[in-house]
Amino acid sequence: MRADQPLLLLDTGVGGLSILGPIRKLLPRAPIVYALDQAGFPYGQKSEAELAARVPALLGRLAEHVDARLAVIACNTASVIALDPVRAALAIPIVGTVPAIKPAAAISKSRVIGVLGTAATVRQPYVDNLSREFASDCTVIRHGSHELVALAEQKMRSRPTDPNAYARVLDGLFGQPGGDKIDTIVLSCTHFPLVEAELAAASPHPVAFVHGGDGIARRVAHLTEGQPWPEEPRPGTAIFVSDGSDPEPLRPGLAQYGFENFETL
């Protein structure tokens, strides 16, 4: 293991930044390569078969390209669908991002939990299993929203968004039978913590928002314990898996997260 071998994070867009923040706090000297699969965006609207083929192939190619020491699938959709095929295809440790239903069940007083993710995530048996295992005495209400993914992408490009959009998204949970009792919402798409303040402001009553970032950072720290890091923190590298669109509007937002090197694949 060399000190300059990076941690590789993959998402379709800016969502993985909500995982990067906690990782940086725990491991400030870790070299970071952050890959944005813009050509595959949005994963939440793709089929299981498409993702189970695309994610292992792409992550394998990227891991080799940057000589990653570990990869984080910083995307719930890709993790709940493609974690097993990715682990089978790559030789390095893989950390996935799955809905934080366990911590949500630990704090919910009303025992009614909302799971807000992409359409592809909320329909997965993986979510049934997490609910059964960790929240069997809770009612778990799910809603899939692509609109919220798009809102987070717009925010990161400093573009104005419809102020009523957040309430409309939340109504997808609160408007379901029993939804008015939800006191805890699992942000089950990595894009969503980036708009947590907007969601909190639009919520008809106070709710706790929970996501997996801190747990993932602890897992990465555990898996890399004892490994060498560079003496000083270094600027990160962002790789655009390009859909042909201009990456320029994203650069200032990414620069705020410490990215100074940009590549297009």
- Tokens at 195, concatenated: 């708009």
Rg (CA), the chain: 18
Main-chain dihedrals φ then ψ at residue 137, nearest 5 degrees:
-100, 15
Q: Which stretch binds ligand DGL (CB under 6 A): 2-10, 21-29, 136-144, 184-192?
A: 184-192
The residue from 5, 38, 108, 121 that contacts ligand DGL (CB under 6 A) is: 121
Q: Which stretch binds ligand DGL (CB under 6 A): 25-33, 73-81, 136-144, 244-252?
A: 73-81
Does the annotation mark 189 as catalytic? yes
**What sections of 177-228 are H helices per DSSP?**
196-202, 213-223
Question: Please, what is the angle between helix 48-66 and helix 76-89, to 10°?
Answer: 60
Check residue 59 and report its DSSP letter.
H
Q: At closest approach, how far in Å is the CB of 14 from ligand DGL?
A: 8
Does the annotation mark 75 as catalytic? yes
The residue from 5, 6, 10, 11 that contacts ligand DGL (CB under 6 A) is: 11
Check residue 63 and report its DSSP letter.
H
Rule CB under 6 A: say whether 76 interacts with ligand DGL.
yes
Main-chain dihedrals φ then ψ at residue 47, nearest 5 degrees:
-85, 160
Of residues 31 and 99, the one with the C-beta less far from ligand DGL: 99
The set of residues, in sequence order, having a beta carbon less than 8 Å from that of 60 and lying 6+ positions away, is 89, 90
Which position among 30, 75, 115, 169 bears the catalytic label?
Answer: 75
Rule CB under 6 A: say whether 44 interacts with ligand DGL.
yes
Of residues 19 and 182, the one with the C-beta less far from ligand DGL: 19
